[in-house]
Amino acid sequence: MKVKVIRGSNQIGGSIIEVASESTRVILDVGSELGENAPQTPAVEGLFNGTPSFDAVLISHYHGDHLGLLDSVLPEIPVFMGKKAYAVYEKQLEYAGKPLRDDIRTFEPRESFAIGDIQITPYLCDHSAFDSYMYLLQEGDEKVLYTGDFRSNGRKNFKYLLSLLPEVDKLIVEGTTLSGKHASARTEADLEYEAVQLIKRIGDAPVFVNMASTNIDRIVTFFRTAKRTGRVLLEDTYTASLTAAISGNIPNPKFPEVKVFLARPTERDYDILQHFSSSKIGRRGISKERFVMMVRPSMLGYLEKLSAEMDFNGGLLIYSLWGGYKEDERTKAFLTRMEELGLSIVDLHVSGHADTQTIEALIAVVKPKEIIPVHTENAEWFERFKADE
Ligand SMILES: [Zn+2]
Ligand SMILES: [Zn+2]
């Protein structure tokens, strides 16, 4: 099989990769570039325009830099993604009022399927998006593994994943963290421990967390943190609709320790709130609770009103996102105002991407004859794995 990185070999995000046998052509991810407001669709003949010439698009996970161009894929080309990832993606689009391709095909972990003469096996991996996959592509004896975005510092057992993976001919691997300092990544469990210690010190004062609603693992981390410090977790209507779509053991409005609040009085948010009427909570109710509350800059108006009903002094605003987003004007204004209202801003975040030890461990197991780096600004780092000849 031939591998061609159409976009993303020397940048983080915007990945589009082609894997082709003699008779079958498959696309791995159709990402938009990070920081793009209006995604530019590159001219890829047979994928976004012209006569369809690809047999499938496989999406590794629901981050925009991997599926942002899904809308532009020719409707004749089948699209595949994980079942639970699709549930989250569907809610995201529904909330944003955007149309959704209604013919997306879903699969369960390790359920193999054939695209032409290529056999596909998805392997569930850990990342800051829920239900993320690595893909093994096999034609005859030849194997190609695509990692998507992955990490070993979440709550899934990385050694178990490694035990499932075969040796491969080609490895298409992400290298997001390779441009920075090569420290080993702290884990979600470390983050939970640190959050518990911080919150224990502030008594009953309020705790707010600025994080991504689609980072389901992080919601688990703060739910556990809330429980360990005798607090309820407050989810806004959007987050509640995402967690309810996954449900199961993911903290959602059915949990007695989760309450739902309405920060924006739109018709859609009212509808969602009605749906969760037994767990809804208003500002008066919140002011009497000990809580960990999920917030975003767009909720500033609501939080101003809440601060009129309760004292924010001595409380925390935990910033749990990539530090780079702090440059965003709206985020800056939000953090400044929250500080004025009496909160201390604390950074608590761990990476969603593999550190060097994790990448090395993967390579040691799958023993690729060829490595194709993607999603990185430091592809040279991988040259150390080239056999001396
Ligand atoms: Zn990515
Ligand atoms: Zn990602």
Say what the pLDDT of residue 386 is.
87
- State in Å: Cα 127 to ligand 2 middle: 7
pLDDT, one tens digit per residue, over 333-360 is 999 999 999 999 999 999 999 999 999 9
Q: How confident is the model at residue 176 (pLDDT cuts 50, 70, 90)?
A: very high
Average pLDDT over all residues of the chain? 96
**Arch. (CATH architecture) of 2-181+353-385:** 4-Layer Sandwich (3.60)
Of the chain, the percentage scoring pLDDT greater than 70 comes to 99
* pLDDT class of 388 with cuts at 50, 70, 90: low
Give distance in angstroms: CA of 61 to centre of ligand 2: 7
C-alpha of residue 63 to centroid of ligand 2, in Å: 5
pLDDT of residue 349: 95
Condensed to tens digits (0 to 9), the pLDDT of residues 288-318 reads 999 999 999 999 999 999 999 999 999 999 9
Strands 291-295 and 207-210: parallel
Structure tokens given for 256:
């007695």
Separation of CA 59 and ligand 2 centre (Å) = 11
Could you say which ligand is closest to the alpha carbon of residue 175?
1
pLDDT above 60 (res 389): no
Report the separation in Å between the CA atom of 275 and the middle of ligand 1, taken as the mean of its atom positions. 33
Whole-number Å distance, alpha carbon 138 to ligand 2 midpoint, is: 24
Q: Mean pLDDT, to the nearest integer, of 93-98?
A: 93
d(CA 16, CA 30): 5
Helices 237-246 and 267-275: crossing angle in degrees, nearest 10, is 50
Contact 59, 97 (CB under 8 A): no
Q: What is the 3-state secondary structure (H, E, C) of 220-271?
A: HHHHHHHHHCCCEEEEEHHHHHHHHHHCCCCCCCCCCCEEEECCCCCHHHHH
Confidence of residue 229 (pLDDT cuts 50, 70, 90): very high
Return d(Cα 160, Cα 156) in angstroms, integer.
Answer: 8
Q: What is the pLDDT at residue 360?
A: 97
pLDDT value at position 294?
A: 98
* Ligand having the closest approach to the CA of 352: 2
Q: How far apart are the CA of 345 and the centre of ligand 2, in A?
A: 26
Q: For residue 132, which ligand has an atom nearest its CA?
A: 2
Q: Does domain 188-347 have CATH number 3.40.50.10710?
A: yes
% of the chain exceeding 90 in pLDDT: 93
Name the pLDDT band for 36 (thresholds 50, 70, 90): low
Q: Position of tokens 């149309």?
A: 99
Higher pLDDT: 51 or 37? It is 51
Calculate how far, in angstroms, residue 343's C-alpha sits from the geometric centre of ligand 1. 32
Q: Which of the four pLDDT bands, split at 50, 70 and 90, describes residue 44?
A: very high
Calculate mean pLDDT across residues 239-252.
97
Going from N- to C-terminal start, the domains of the chain cover 2-181+353-385, 188-347
Average pLDDT over every residue of 18-45: 90
- Whether the domain at 2-181+353-385 and the domain at 188-347 fall into the same CATH topology: no
